[in-house]
Amino acid sequence: MKDIKHKLALLVKDPELKRKLMFTMFIFLAFRIFAFLPVPAINLERLRALFQTNQFLSLLDIFSGGTLFNFSVMALGLNPYINASIIFQLLTVVVPKFEQLAKEGEYGRFKINQYTRILTLPLTILQAVGIYFLLRQNNIISTLAPFEFLALVTTLVAGTFILMWFGELVTEFGLGNGVTLIVIVGIVGRLPVVTQQLLGTLTADQTFTLLVYAGLSFVVIASVVAVNEAVRRIPVYYAKRVKGNRMYQSATNYLPLKLNQAGVIPIIFAVSFVLFPQLIGNFLAASSNPFLAQNAATIARLFDPNGFVYNFFYFILVVGFTFFYTMVIFNPEKIAEEIQKNGGFIPGIRPGKATKEFLSRTLYRLTSVGALFLGLIAILPAIVSAATGIHNLVVGGTGVLIIVSGILEIFKTIDAQLVMKSYDKYSRY
């Protein structure tokens, strides 16, 4: 607690950190202003009534940063940009051309960012068209003329790119990762509205249940912090060696393997997949073909976010994507080769194939625990709703994970700033 107070005090007193904080707050203010600029031709009363009964849209609203609830000019949020970023992050591992580009330093990162922005455009257009048909089916928006439809899609695409620009500005000149912080601001910004809705629907019998839920929330937050920061440190010893004209002394280092190596990315992937059947089912339910409409409606009901089928597949997908993404970003074979190439070894493990097998086995065990934890966090709202009867939960497990990750990122930024200042102090002498 003292360490946190010390960092918060430095955040206010240190000129550089204070400047970054003020800039970040200015971008947040601009984002919240845009979040309350609604797109014309939208019936906001019907839209908000739909949000109270449709968990599907509520999940989309989490990743839009809270802008979908008001259907503002930034209604699509950062969803398309996040998906494009994840796609290129995977391509840098799978495709040799992008892997080589990622190793070219600043220029490579610049080119990958350009490709990410280009891919964001078609993804944004597809999502804008899909949201339009979904809202038209629920009589929230009327059928638009071709020019009006084009104007709506263009507005939503422009809003996403402005928000993407805001996130990049915060990352470069502010505190922490801009994309994550903007999503956090959207989630926190909806807390008063959702809390009011929750308290308005509570019965006298559910008051004690709400207190129990509040206590469990602290346990969940503490668990997310503990798992997010848990690291298995594997010692690596380097013997004295000569390389070229230089001699390197023996040294000891550590290879950090995080318990939650993949972060929140598996949940984002899983949400994209598990929401797809209901999105298609809702769209085809209005078909003039009775057989198609009936089966589509059945699929939409099966994949209701409060139902067993939805949460079962959601859990499986989160666990599967956690293993997949961890194995993609952490290659035991390459790590073992790099350790052996630099003359290092893990105590008690022979270099080469034995090191690779040891790292793979250790990573599998850690990922198993992390994947089960992420899966449980993902379906936590459904479990709590079924146990307590409270359906309008303020922040689900996914929201908690995003908020905690963002706050920890801010503290890491403060720590990095303090380390830089300590080096500057010694460099004067």
* Same structural domain, 167 and 213: no
* Same structural domain, 233 and 117: no
* Same structural domain, 94 and 234: no
Q: Is 44 within the bounds of a domain?
A: yes
Size (the chain), residues: 429
Q: Is 13 within the bounds of a domain?
A: yes
Among 144, 167, 189, the domain-final residue is 189
Asked if 164 contacts 177 with a C-beta cutoff of 8 angstroms, the reply is no
Q: Which domain holds residue 156?
A: 1-189
* Same structural domain, 229 and 129: no
* Same structural domain, 213 and 115: no
Q: Is 9 within the bounds of a domain?
A: yes
Q: Is 404 within the bounds of a domain?
A: no
Q: Is 401 within the bounds of a domain?
A: no
Among 168, 189, 210, the domain-final residue is 189
* Same structural domain, 6 and 153: yes
* Same structural domain, 38 and 62: yes
Asked if 282 contacts 300 with a C-beta cutoff of 8 angstroms, the reply is yes
* Same structural domain, 326 and 211: yes
Q: Is 385 within the bounds of a domain?
A: yes
How many domains, the chain?
2
* Same structural domain, 176 and 221: no
Three-state SS for 255?
A: strand
H/E run at residue 245: none
Q: What is the dihedral of CA 152, 155, 156, 160, to 10 degrees?
A: 170
Q: Is 416 within the bounds of a domain?
A: no
CB atoms within 10 A of CB 179: 22
104-113, 132-141, 187-196, 290-299, range with greatest mean pLDDT = 104-113
Alpha helices in 285-352 (DSSP H): 290-302, 308-329, 332-341
The lowest-confidence range among 67-81, 278-292, 332-346 is 278-292
* Same structural domain, 280 and 321: yes
Angle, vertex CA 311, rays to CA 55 and CA 190, nearest 5: 30
pTM, to two decimals: 0.74
pLDDT of residue 121: 92
pLDDT of residue 15: 78
* Same structural domain, 162 and 212: no
Q: Averaged over 336-353, what is the pLDDT?
A: 82
Alpha helices in 330-352 (DSSP H): 332-341
Q: Is 328 within the bounds of a domain?
A: yes
pLDDT of residue 429: 47
Provide the CATH number for the domain around residue 221: 1.10.3370.10
Asked if 27 contacts 166 with a C-beta cutoff of 8 angstroms, the reply is yes
The lowest-confidence range among 170-184, 208-222, 279-293 is 279-293
Q: Averaged over 286-308, what is the pLDDT?
A: 71
DSSP state of 174: S
52-56, 70-74, 212-216, range with greatest mean pLDDT = 70-74
273: Cβ–Cβ under 8 A, 6 or more apart, which residues?
317
* Same structural domain, 16 and 144: yes
Summary mean pLDDT of the chain: 76
